[in-house]
Amino acid sequence: MKSLLEQGEGGDGSDPVFRNRIRLSFRHAAVATLSLPFLSFLFCIIWSLLFSFRQTTATHCGVVNYLPSISSAIGHYPQSHVWKLGIALHTAPRLFVASIYLEHYKTILVSSSIWLTWMTVVFNVAEILSLLGLSLISSTFIHELHAACFTLFVICATLYMLLTLVLLQIYRRSNESALERKSRQLKITTFLVNCLGVAFAVYLYVRHNKYCEPYVYTWFALAEYAVVLSNMAFHATAYQDFYYTKVIITARGVKII
């Protein structure tokens, strides 16, 4: 594996601005960025099961439950701090990736899709910011605002994934590479899993609150996990989309090659 740090810009290196640069493989940066929420998610669930099982799996009607919902898992200490840190650290890189996708789509899509491209990026940015909001504002602090951010996250994430597939399926003007084809297929699969997860989560949540049956909230938690993990997997396809892309960071700014 090549070193991520390369010295010199070429030539005699007399220009102090380019004497040192950081050269990042985009796919490595994508893995590092997405590992933050993924590892934070795993930590919160595992810690909740091992050390705060009773608190995080309690339900309002006292029925048997074996898994914490995500809101419950990230709403207790120390899980809340780990989750907030992971989401906060990955937000800026995610916004940067959104801007990269905007430029990428301009090169591979027909010009008539520009309005839909911008709409897709807006939904992506809204998804990222609403995720930050629901993570920083716990359900026990301001429940209404947390719920609003969660609803906005689900809606924006779903619309972003749908519009991304529409753009790639209908408006592409260049032929797909093998990696891009694999990426699109993974996007389709994870989008379908995400939609099913959302549908089951809504159904199970309503059923739990209406009938308070044992184990229903456990299945709701599993549906939530499917929603979150499929969302992460959808965004992880950036690994294939920008497999050969390099990010050059110098004192003058960031350059994508």
What is the per-residue pLDDT across 92-126, written as a single tens digit (0 to 9) for each? 999 999 999 998 999 999 999 999 999 999 999 99
- Res 13: pLDDT: 45
Under the banding of pLDDT at 50, 70 and 90, the label for residue 6 is very low
The mean pLDDT of 17-30, rounded to a whole number, is: 73
DSSP structure string for 82-144? HHHHHHHHHHHHHHHHHHHHHHHHHHHB-GGGHHHHHHHHHHHHHHHHHHHHHHHS-TTT-HH
What tens digit of pLDDT does each residue of 124-142 get?
999 999 999 989 887 667 7
- Res 14: pLDDT: 47
- Res 237: pLDDT: 95
Residue 194 has pLDDT above 80, yes or no: yes
How far apart, in whole angstroms, are the C-alpha atoms of residue 112 and residue 100?
19
What tens digit of pLDDT does each residue of 52-87 get?
999 999 988 889 999 999 988 988 889 999 999 999
Are 159 and 198 contacting, i.e. CB atoms less than 8 angstroms apart? no
Under the banding of pLDDT at 50, 70 and 90, the label for residue 175 is confident
- Res 26: pLDDT: 85
pTM of the predicted model over 0.85: yes
Q: Average per-residue pLDDT in the chain?
A: 87
- Res 12: pLDDT: 42
Please give the backbone phi and psi of residue 250, each rounded to the nearest 5 degrees, phi first. -130, 180
What tens digit of pLDDT does each residue of 197-256 get?
999 999 999 999 999 999 999 999 999 999 999 999 999 999 999 998 887 766 665 566
